[in-house]
Each structure stands twice: as structure tokens, then as C-alpha cells.
A and B are shown apart, each in its own frame.
Chain A
Amino acid sequence: MPEDGVHDSQLLKGVLSLALMRLLADRESYGYELVTRLHELGLTEIQDGSVYPALGRLERDGHVTSRLVASPSGAARKYYRLSAPGYAALKHIERAWQSLVSALEPILSQPVPAKPKEALP
């Protein structure tokens, strides 16, 4: 988490599917529980309203499957589980993510200069 505890919402949007798939790889979950799990990880800027459609998108793409389970709170909960293609996609995306982070690390680990240098002759 950054020092000021704030994450860029655009960056978060880009990695939301990855985060959801990774959480679902650990255990089956329903929408609000996934929101809570993301918040517990410190990703408190993620709104419930971006998680629910993201789950729908993952289901449409065949990365997760779902089932309804009766809930003590009333309406049935929709539990999501990572599918076999979802596992394969997760592994692929995780590799791509690690590769991206490795590629950016040499640049981003350096302190940002106060002013850009002049162009080389």
C-alpha cells in the first residue's frame, strides 16, 4: 500500500479481475464477502458497484461458475468459484503481471528527479 494509503482507481480497475480471481482461487465466495475481503487487504477504494459487474464479466467469460445458496439474511447468495479455464487464465495473468512488475522495477525503484535532464547531443 502506498504511504498515503490511497490507490489509483484506474490501476485498481485494471487489476480488479486478477484480484477477484486470486481470491476465488483460495475459496468460493459471494459478492459482498469478496468486497469485504478486498477491503481487509487494504483496497478500501474499491466500490461494491465495481465488484458485482466484474464478477458477472468473469462468469460470462467462463472464468468462474456460480451457484445459489440459501442465506439467513433472506435473498439467496450467489457463490462464485474459479473454473478450470479460470485457473489457467489466472496463472497466465499472474505471469504477465509478474513480468510487467519486473520490467518496471528498474525504472520505478529509482527516485524521481526534481527536473528532467536535457536531451543528449
Chain B
Amino acid sequence: MNQEALNKKDRMQIELAVKKIDWELDGRVPRARRRQILNELRSNLTEAAQHVGGEQAVQQLGDLKTLAKSYLEIYRSRFDVRAGAFWAAVAYFAVQLLGFVLFLAFRAGVAAGGSHGASYSFEVWTGFGPFAGKVGAGGNTFEVLIGSPAHILIVALAFAIGSTYRSLFARR
């Protein structure tokens, strides 16, 4: 067995592959477990690279996403931070989009009524949100809430559901 130290290129190829797997597992597999997986992978790749070179060693792993998926099937945690963040962002932008549509509709109403400006609000109570805005003189001022307690509540709910729905609905 060739025990010579790996060259820089081989080491970089190994590290790149390990980082790609890490990226796929990040937020989905508990940190300690992830570290174990990556250490073992690095050890095996180093060993393989000493026989066939870094590039071939990484190729022998096959598709890295498929490999990461296989690890996820075994070690996925019940709490998926990445999915939670994704659904929180989707919820935020959905609220903003709806707020913008309401703003446009309200501005059209104000313009049709011949008013110079008005305030609107769709809130459970004042200041709670999520929808409130103001149409200025001539109906041209743009003002929509971008953050409110309601936004925080909706985003937090989306995060909580998004990060746990897979384990909630997974087949037992």
C-alpha cells in the first residue's frame, strides 16, 4: 500500500467532496452525527486516494447527492432547520405579496373615489398587522408593513411546521 502523503490537489478534491456532503446534511442531521459521517468519509477517501488518486477516489463514491440522500435516510433528525427556513421565507414573501396586492387594490379604490389619500388596515388590533398601509396624495405613495407582530407569528409558525412536518407525517 502506498502510504505517501497526498498532494495538495488530492486533498482539495477530498475536502470539496466532503464539503458537498456536509452542505446536503447541514441542518438535517444532528451536528455530532454529521461530524462522525464526514470524518469516516474523509478517512475512507484518503485511503482510496492513496491507491487511485483523489479524483478517482471521489468518482468511486458515485453521485454525491445520492450518497447524501442515503445518509439522510438513516440519520435524518426530526427537526429540519433548512426546511423550516425555506417555509418561513415562503410564508414571509407570500404575506408581503398579498399585502402588496391589497395595497394596489386599495390604491385603485382611492383613485376611483377621487380621494387624495387614505390609510387602510387589515389587523386584528392596531399595530399587530399583517396588512396596513397608506395611500398618499394622488394615490402614488407606497407604504406597506414589512414587519409586524403578525409577520413574526406567521413566519415562526411556518418555520415550526416546515421544520417538523416530515417527521410528523413520516410513515411509522
Contact = CB atoms under 8 A, between A and B. Distances in A.
Nearest to B46: A73
A102 B70 CA distance: 32
Contacts of B66: 49
Nearest to B75: A56
Contact of A52 (B44, B46, B63): B44
- Taking residues whose C-beta sits less than 8 angstroms from the other chain, chain B's interface range is 20 to 34
A117 interface: no
B52 to A, nearest CB: 10
A78 B70 contact: no
B150 to A, nearest CB: 42
B48 A32 contact: yes
Given A56-B75, A72-B3, A50 B43 contact: no
Interface string A76-95: 11100000000000000000
Given A75-B42, A78-B40, A50 B71 contact: no
B74 A49 contact: no
Contacts of B47: 30, 32-33, 71, 73, 77
A72 B2 CA distance: 11
B43 A48 contact: no
A48 B62 contact: yes
Interface of A: 30-33, 35, 47-50, 52-53, 56-57, 60, 71-78
Interface of B: 3, 37, 39-44, 46-48, 50, 57, 60-64, 66-67, 70-71, 73-75
